[in-house]
Chains A and B, each alone.
Chain A
């Protein structure tokens, strides 16, 4: 391509498109390169998006026809053993009223396509079906554009924003980010299961397009450090389950068998009964946490979103961090154009902006959390089993005194683990999230 752009963005996901919207609005000449057939065609998330960060980019996103599946009014957490489990939920009317669209479900194939179309309306050029395979550099190794898999596919740009996701081979091959180690990513698989809308509303006790999220840990990941989720869409449920890739390697558990077992769990099966699977896909989640975040800028380039490993695995927040980092990258680039300075020194503002925002604050706060889960596999085996044993015994009315049952539970607990170990677990858990 002979044309030269102000900004080249790699990847038309939430980070790249957020940046594209803001840059195009500021009058800069922006090109977004997307490897999929259309924006969203390669993207996957559990399915929840947060209105706050989207509104920072498009305050009128609902008027623009944002493809919302269901507005989330209730969040449930399940702690499951093989046979049963605990359920805790919080529902609040405020989420269907004044804080509506605080969180809502989306299908990424639809959402990302819509989001990219908004950037296009603002003047950004979105080019799909194009893989960025390398970067152009000048004599001082400053980035001056991208190399693509198209014929004559070099695109020159004053600034390049890498927003090509967690599976960014580009970031690794350019040395901007080291290739993640297997224990720094979680491998997740997802099934979308079609269920009629009225049946979803009955099964989840909601109405009027409202929905529920369920986050699940315990024995569903068969002893691996992982999580499963069930999210309600308009006419389907999203079921995802994932675990640390290193745990998959060690355990020899097959992801597609794990999700099949998950679907058969007594608390899951009734929710999806009669449903028809529509799609089966897979993706990584960034599990490296704060310490895995690479340097986020250099001469002529910045990195945003998942490719920068910005993911809060405790709160399952990713696309809001992508949107926020894309927005801050764009603001930094606009300032760089004002100063006509695209050097590392000038783009360093991006790092400051992120550090002063909730993005880095949250990631720093939870920097110990990923390691905590990874090194406490009992959370996904022994403990849910013991917890279920305790509840089952206390709830069974069989003429035995409760004191006797309590002793029986404590005996089992000491046999399987120890009070000291439990105390340590609670202490370290608290430290990892405080």
Chain B
């Protein structure tokens, strides 16, 4: 089962504004050799597209990993606005 299909199972109330931002997009490509966010994020939020890392916050599972495991601590991380984001059906 692919990650897209997994995320499709979940219920979200998507906010128009992203709760995840790359603080300085420039340094991801220049200074971050490993770019581990492309791998450890359980929702595949971070993807390498057209030479830059794009943020697909809509599928975020709100685990918090990117906030602390980004080698450059380059992610501005907040919770989605109250009531928005993932909404567990079973939990």
Query: Which residues on A are within 8 Å of B, measured CB to CB?
Result: 35-37, 40-45, 107-112, 128-131, 148-150, 167, 169, 179-182, 185, 187, 189, 191-192, 233, 236, 245-246, 248-249, 252-256, 260, 277-284
Task: Check A42–B62 contact: CB distance below 8 A.
Answer: yes
Contacts of B43 in A (CB 8 A): 282
Contacts of A44 in B (CB 8 A): 88, 91
Extra inter-chain contacts (20) besides given A128-B83, A279-B89, CB under 8 Å: A37-B83, A41-B86, A41-B88, A42-B86, A43-B91, A45-B91, A149-B82, A169-B78, A169-B79, A182-B69, A187-B65, A192-B90, A236-B90, A245-B69, A252-B39, A254-B40, A254-B44, A256-B44, A279-B10, A282-B62
CA distance A426 to B16 in the complex (A): 54
Task: Check A256–B82 contact: CB distance below 8 A.
Answer: no
Contacts of A149 in B (CB 8 A): 81-82
CA distance A191 to B89 in the complex (A): 12
Interface residues of B in 1-20 (CB under 8 A from A): 1, 3, 6-7, 9-10, 13
Task: Check A129–B82 contact: CB distance below 8 A.
Answer: yes
CA distance A233 to B89 in the complex (A): 14
Q: Write the nearest CB–CB distance from A272 to chain B, whole angstroms.
A: 12
| Contact residue among B6, B82, B85 (Cβ-Cβ distance under 8 Å from A150) | B82
Q: Residue of B at shortest CB range from A107?
A: B90
Task: Check B87–A278 contact: CB distance below 8 A.
Answer: no
Task: Check B88–A108 contact: CB distance below 8 A.
Answer: yes
Listed by A's residue number, 14 A-B pairs whose Cβ atoms lie within 8 Å are: A35-B82, A36-B83, A36-B88, A109-B90, A110-B90, A128-B82, A129-B83, A131-B81, A150-B82, A167-B64, A169-B67, A192-B90, A249-B40, A277-B9
Task: Check A109–B88 contact: CB distance below 8 A.
Answer: yes
| Contact residue among B40, B64, B85 (Cβ-Cβ distance under 8 Å from A169) | B64
Task: Check A167–B83 contact: CB distance below 8 A.
Answer: no
Task: Check A281–B88 contact: CB distance below 8 A.
Answer: yes
Q: Residue of A at shortest CB range from B7?
A: A280
CA distance A294 to B79 in the complex (A): 22
Task: Check B68–A180 contact: CB distance below 8 A.
Answer: yes
Contacts of A111 in B (CB 8 A): 91
